[in-house]
Structure 1
């Protein structure tokens, strides 16, 4: 990953996950036949988007050696050190509504977001 580690986040403060987000992620993992005791949701930051950085999520079968691993409501969450600089202290939530449903990161480190909320700057 080629992000600049000067994001200004709180690397010692883990990302938290709401019960609804954990429930949705676990359901998706089980639907893909993944072992939720070992695998987890990887939350990361990547270059891109109109504000400069964007969030990424994927399921991984196991954490990387240097990942910060936390567990929330039965969901294991993996965050690499570079991403933690940008998203430390954030909360992952799941929102559902009439027009859209999906995961949303509430990041206290954000100084500016694009209009769609998919990219940000710290």
Structure 2
């Protein structure tokens, strides 16, 4: 069974207002129940700095996921990833290379030149 952030005593994963709006739109477009569906946020091996973020829309959390709920979409984080992203804020940014979700992670000590991977 998934765990809520309050039960796990893990620092909050926050979603900015703009990122929240951008994440809710595809869930609603696909007629997914926003009470159970959400944004899966995870860390995987890869990139020149060693780790990279992954995100996906999920219809429900996996049984071991920690679930963060606040003003926007639910955020699902697997137990292996939480150590790398505790206290992070998910933002939605636009720039020269396009627009997309970005993770502002206080645990990062270095990033690769292109910003696609990181090290904690």
| Structure 2, unaligned runs of 5 or more | 1-8
CA contact (8 A) 1:16 1:92 kept: yes
TM normalised by structure 2 equals: 0.87
CA distance in 2, matches of 1:100, 1:81: 31
Number of the residue aligned with 1:20:
18
Quick one: structure 1 residues 33 and 64, their matched pair in 2 at CA, closer, same or farther if it must change by over 3 Å?
Answer: same
Specify the SS of the correspondent of 1:62.
coil
Number of the residue aligned with 2:6:
none
Number of the residue aligned with 2:37:
39
Number of the residue aligned with 2:4:
none
Count of residues in correspondence between the two structures: 112
Specify the SS of the correspondent of 1:72.
coil
Instruction: Report which stretch shifted further, 77-86 or 90-99.
Output: 90-99
Q: Higher relative contact order by CA 8 Å / sep ≥ 6: 1 or 2? A: 1
Are 1:66 and 2:52 matched, yes or no? no
Which residue of the other structure, out of 81, 86, 111, is the alignment partner of 2:109? 111
Number of the residue aligned with 1:8:
none
TM normalised by structure 1 equals: 0.85
CA contact (8 A) 2:17 2:72 kept: no
